[in-house]
Amino acid sequence: MSTIAIIGGGFAGTLTAVNLMYQAHCPLRIVHIECSERRNRGAAFGTESSHHLLNVPAGRMSAFPDDPLHFLKWARSRNKNLSESSFLPRSLYGEYLDDVLEAGIKSLPSFVAYEALRGEAISIKLIQDNNKAVIKLADGNVVVADKVVLATGNFKAGISSQPAGISETIAGSERYFADAWSKQSPQLATTDGDIMMIGTGLTAIDKILELEAQGFKGNIHAISRHGLLPAAHLKTSLATFAQTELRCALYSDLNLLFRSVKNAIRSGSYKDLFDNASSVNMEVSDWRQIIDSLRPHSQSLWGALSETQKRRFCRHLKAYWDVHRHRMPPEIGNRIAALQQSDRLKVIAGRLYSVQETAKTLVATIVPRSGGQPIQLKVANIINCTGFELDFEKADSALAHSLLSRGLVKAHPTRLGLDILADGNVLDGNDRPSKVLYTLGAPTIGARGESIAVPELRVQAKELAGTLLSLTITEQLPALDSRSQSVAN
């Protein structure tokens, strides 16, 4: 019997397991390793706050690409007033994933075994001519597997890679919170003074909502290089242009692509992007339609860029793309706008130069993006909301370091995850496809571009399960064949 081990029990790992359960036709053992207490959650769905909503409407959050309204139907069985455009709590989505896994386990055929292990995988060693892996867990447990799926998702940043301007001393201060996702002291909300957030993306928005819900009455200063907050979704989503092919010239020319998107938004027309757009009478009444029309093409656009262009995109354009593409629910957009209007939330575009600690405060010096004199802010606390670490070298993960140091994986040239083949097969330090290791989700962002949200991950999980099952069957065939011959003799 083959063993497929999955490291990570967030959406990607759980859905890989579930797809293996539904697709398996031969004897199979699935070992599913997750270090945190709660399976099926990950950072996204582990929140208990009802103020944290999904940033994708319910109609697009199904776990199964072939049953696009699966989540909505599940949610409607609890509240029939919900619609495709409802933005539901992220904690509810965690419960949905519990049920999805439970249903998979209930449907297991007798020849498939599923074992859920709680523990942190800290290293992998290859044995038997690199055909099998030995996974070591922090508690000393060992799992031997024929294939291993790295579904490790979003890593936390290691202490050595705190944002610029945060010295080692400040990183160790009680007033500094290095990880926005770790449980923070409830006293933070009653703190006497302002709070500064490093980062202005969806992580900062989550933290702002959390502080507000806990009754925080002070001011919040959110700083990032560009000072851009995520845009909000519209209350009702508008139809987008569902074309199969973009204009050829847009592939591999980042400048032209950027100009064309800007023109399309300005002119309110798809014709800068799609050749046959002028023959279709389709109105653009909002810029979100243009951004959403690119979504099905984002992976192929990314794939066509040279490594230099990819790095340029990350340096200069990614911040703009992210705030338009990864939007917040409309009701949250309204609450954030109200905080800005009342001057309780101030967003600053600039670079954190340094932070000094005095007896009662932290004094942050910020160099504004627009130039001019540095700004000094006295705040009671600083929270690092810069998001997650995709560079395996900088990640706070023993497993990531072990994989790199043993040469079992190779960082993608953009440092956004790993170098892989199209099917998720990991390349080793010598550019050879691993016989054992596969990945999906965040570790594939460098190679695939957009590879973070449920609509992409559900497809990857289904396809990867299919790939692994066909490989394990093919690899079992010679053994089965020689067994049947010896029986015949």
Ligand X SMILES: Cc1cc2nc3c(=O)[nH]c(=O)nc-3n(C[C@H](O)[C@H](O)[C@H](O)COP(=O)(O)OP(=O)(O)OC[C@H]3O[C@@H](n4cnc5c(N)ncnc54)[C@H](O)[C@@H]3O)c2cc1C
Q: Which residue has the tokens 């010598």?
A: 430
Stretch that binds ligand X, among 11-19, 108-116, 239-247, 283-291 (CB under 6 A): 11-19
* Interaction between residue 384 and ligand X (CB under 6 A): no
Give 54 or 220: the residue with its C-beta nearer to ligand X. Answer: 54
Residue 101 Cβ vs ligand X, minimum distance, rounded to whole Å: 13
Binds ligand X (CB under 6 A): choice among 5, 6, 11, 269:
11
Give 7 or 408: the residue with its C-beta nearer to ligand X. Answer: 7
Give 194 or 456: the residue with its C-beta nearer to ligand X. Answer: 456
CA distance 156 to 154: 7
The vertex-198 CA angle with 197 and 202, nearest 5°, equals 80
* Interaction between residue 450 and ligand X (CB under 6 A): no
Residue 11 Cβ vs ligand X, minimum distance, rounded to whole Å: 4
Q: List the beta bridge partners of residue 191.
A: none
- Half-sphere exposure of residue 124, counting CA atoms within 13 Å on the CB side? 30
Pairs from 314-318 (Cβ < 8 Å, separation ≥ 24): 314/414, 314/416, 317/254, 317/258
Binding to ligand X by CB under 6 A, coded x per residue (else -) over 203-232, reads ---x--------------------------
Burial 6-25 (b: 16+ CB within 10 A, else e): bbbbbbbbbbbbbbbbeebe
* Interaction between residue 426 and ligand X (CB under 6 A): no
Interaction residues for ligand X, span 258-277 (CB under 6 A): none
Stretch that binds ligand X, among 9-17, 67-75, 330-338, 475-483 (CB under 6 A): 9-17
Other CB atoms within 10 Å distance of the CB of residue 464: 26
Interaction residues for ligand X, span 298-357 (CB under 6 A): none
Give 8 or 163: the residue with its C-beta nearer to ligand X. Answer: 8
Give 10 or 449: the residue with its C-beta nearer to ligand X. Answer: 10
Residue nearest to ligand X (CB): 42
Residue 140 Cβ vs ligand X, minimum distance, rounded to whole Å: 14
Binds ligand X (CB under 6 A): choice among 98, 120, 275, 475:
120
Stretch that binds ligand X, among 149-157, 213-221, 266-274, 464-472 (CB under 6 A): 149-157
Stretch that binds ligand X, among 164-172, 210-218, 270-278, 450-458 (CB under 6 A): 450-458
Q: Which residue has the tokens 């029990």?
A: 9
Residue 33 Cβ vs ligand X, minimum distance, rounded to whole Å: 5
Give 12 or 383: the residue with its C-beta nearer to ligand X. Answer: 12
Other CB atoms within 10 Å distance of the CB of residue 422: 10
Interaction residues for ligand X, span 37-96 (CB under 6 A): 42-44, 54-56
Residue 338 Cβ vs ligand X, minimum distance, rounded to whole Å: 22
Question: In the complex, which residues of this chain contact ligand X (CB under 6 A)?
Answer: 7-13, 33-36, 42-44, 54-56, 120-121, 151-154, 206, 397, 399, 441-442, 452-454, 457
